[in-house]
């Protein structure tokens, strides 16, 4: 189970600057769409990747951009699961009216400056069952191949399941094996706000971080493999924490002090032992990653930083990871935004939220 699945790497068409729109139809390859290579090539020319598909979405209020039906998105996500070898097959969704209302309320409650930025970049939110994660975000291009916005797809059955703290605890436990002695509890809401709507709100804030990175230079595009990114000096947020290794992989600048980082894997099967929790969070405090999930990938570093900053600083909500060993609290990890270690990231986020 993945929180924020990102679109498959669509090289080389997009890298070469080719317009997906111009390629549509006439260049759609005739191949076996059950094969990953074929699925990738069909995704490259898929209508949902073109701004034309989303028509005048940006002219509508945010609430109207939350739409249930989308056969095209089911098709696109199916190709993506084939391309990324994810063993689920997306299906059309019929979310309950209450769930759709929760998504709209979650957005409406966000700070005005966040909504203003979204108005320019969020093309739509759609619902698809079994998409292979809770949420999926991907960029969309105009007829000249320039990024023009992003869309989000949500899995209603996954969203319907948990309240805020229950969801956050489930997510933050997922990198660690359950050994019966070590335990992690996450708190992101209190009292009556600990409900499903506020779980959805935090999930959306993370996805909105990805949406707001469209056309910006916070980090290299996730459509480009690290080995092909080239000089990274143009990505100031990325530069604060990441580099490309000589083997062409993203590594953090803190890996020497944070040896657990390379084994931090969310959702797909834990690689860290329960007894490593306290050391992992202790080492995380020596970095400028606001959350453990931020340490997994440059794009998720930005999305998590955005979500955690807006949630705790702009919305004044809690964020606490409490670690217990045999029932006794051994460590409490909190927000980093008033600490020196996160100052530079905070400055970039605040500049972005000021708007152009």
Nearer to Zn ion, 9 or 323 (CB): 9
Give least dist CB 80 to Zn ion, A: 15
Number of residues counted as binding Zn ion (CB under 5 A) = 3
Coil vs helix vs strand at 321: strand
Stretch that binds Zn ion, among 52-60, 109-117, 275-283, 298-306 (CB under 5 A): 298-306
| CA–CA distance, 183 with 210 (Å, rounded to integer) | 30
Q: Is 294 in the site for Zn ion (CB under 5 A)?
A: no
Coil vs helix vs strand at 303: helix
- For residue 9, the 8-state DSSP code is P
| CA–CA distance, 186 with 241 (Å, rounded to integer) | 24
Stretch that binds Zn ion, among 80-88, 93-101, 268-276, 297-305 (CB under 5 A): 297-305
Give least dist CB 186 to Zn ion, A: 17
Stretch that binds Zn ion, among 18-26, 125-133, 255-263, 292-300 (CB under 5 A): 292-300
Stretch that binds Zn ion, among 4-12, 28-36, 269-277, 319-327 (CB under 5 A): 4-12
Q: Is 276 in the site for Zn ion (CB under 5 A)?
A: no
Stretch that binds Zn ion, among 2-10, 101-109, 186-194, 221-229 (CB under 5 A): 2-10
- For residue 333, the 8-state DSSP code is E
Q: Is 149 in the site for Zn ion (CB under 5 A)?
A: no
Pairing of strands 135-141, 242-244: unpaired
Q: Is 229 in the site for Zn ion (CB under 5 A)?
A: no
Q: Is 298 in the site for Zn ion (CB under 5 A)?
A: no
ω into residue 342 within 30 of 0, thus cis? no
Please, are residues 185 and 322 in contact by the beta-carbon 8 Å criterion?
yes
Q: Is 300 in the site for Zn ion (CB under 5 A)?
A: yes
The torsion angle over the Cα atoms of residues 80, 6, 141 and 251, rounded to 10 degrees, is: -120
Residues between 301 and 330 that touch Zn ion (CB under 5 A): 303
Please, are residues 306 and 209 in contact by the beta-carbon 8 Å criterion?
yes
Coil vs helix vs strand at 323: strand
Nearer to Zn ion, 309 or 323 (CB): 309
In this structure, what token pair is assigned to residue 102?
């929760």
In this structure, what token pair is assigned to residue 280?
């992992």
Q: Is 4 in the site for Zn ion (CB under 5 A)?
A: yes
What secondary structure does DSSP assign to 86-131, as a single string?
-S---EE----HHHHHHHHHHHHTS-HHHHHHHHHHEEEEEEEET-
Q: Is 189 in the site for Zn ion (CB under 5 A)?
A: no
Q: Is 290 in the site for Zn ion (CB under 5 A)?
A: no
- H/E element, 200: helix 196-212
Q: Is 129 in the site for Zn ion (CB under 5 A)?
A: no
Nearer to Zn ion, 45 or 250 (CB): 250
Q: Is 138 in the site for Zn ion (CB under 5 A)?
A: no
Nearer to Zn ion, 276 or 300 (CB): 300
Give least dist CB 327 to Zn ion, A: 33
Q: Is 158 in the site for Zn ion (CB under 5 A)?
A: no
Nearer to Zn ion, 4 or 175 (CB): 4
Give least dist CB 326 to Zn ion, A: 34
Stretch that binds Zn ion, among 3-11, 39-47, 82-90, 113-121 (CB under 5 A): 3-11
The torsion angle over the Cα atoms of residues 146, 44, 265 and 333, rounded to 10 degrees, is: 20
| CA–CA distance, 51 with 337 (Å, rounded to integer) | 36
Please give the residue ranges that form the binding site for Zn ion (CB under 5 A): 4, 300, 303
């Amino acid at each position: 189970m993945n929180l924020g699945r990102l679109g498959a790497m669509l090289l080389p068409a997009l890298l070469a600057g080719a317009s997906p729109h111009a390629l549509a139809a006439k260049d759609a390859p005739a191949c076996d769409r059950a094969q990953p290579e074929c699925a990738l090539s069909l995704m490259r020319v898929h209508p949902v990747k073109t701004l034309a598909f989303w028509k005048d979405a940006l002219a509508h209020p945010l609430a109207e951009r939350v739409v249930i039906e989308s056969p095209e998105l089911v098709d696109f996500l199916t190709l993506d699961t084939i391309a990324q070898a994810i063993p689920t097959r997306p299906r059309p969704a019929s979310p309950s009216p209450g769930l759709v209302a929760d998504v709209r309320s979650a957005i409406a409650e966000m700070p005005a400056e966040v909504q203003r930025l979204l108005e320019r970049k969020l093309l739509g939110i759609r619902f698809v069952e079994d998409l292979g994660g809770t949420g999926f975000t991907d960029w969309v291009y105009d007829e000249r191949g320039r990024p023009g916005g992003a869309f989000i797809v949500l899995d209603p059955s996954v969203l319907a399941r948990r309240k805020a703290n229950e969801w956050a605890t489930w997510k933050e436990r997922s990198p660690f094996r359950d050994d019966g002695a070590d335990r992690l509890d996450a708190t992101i809401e209190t009292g009556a706000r600990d409900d499903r709507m506020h779980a959805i709100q935090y999930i959306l804030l993370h996805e909105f971080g990805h949406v707001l990175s469209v056309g910006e230079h916070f980090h290299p595009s996730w459509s480009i493999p690290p080995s092909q990114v080239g000089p990274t000096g143009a990505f100031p947020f990325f530069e604060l924490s990441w580099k490309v290794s000589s083997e062409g992989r993203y590594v953090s600048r803190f890996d020497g002090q944070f040896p657990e980082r390379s084994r931090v894997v969310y959702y797909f099967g834990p690689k860290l032992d329960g007894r490593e929790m306290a050391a992992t969070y202790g080492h995380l405090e020596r970095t400028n990653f606001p959350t453990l999930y931020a340490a997994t990938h440059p794009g998720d570093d930005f999305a998590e930083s955005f979500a955690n900053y807006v949630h705790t600083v702009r919305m004044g909500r809690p964020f606490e990871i409490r670690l217990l060993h045999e029932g006794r609290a051994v460590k409490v990890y909190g927000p980093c935004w008033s600490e020196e270690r996160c100052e530079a990231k905070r400055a970039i986020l605040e500049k972005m939220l000021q708007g152009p």
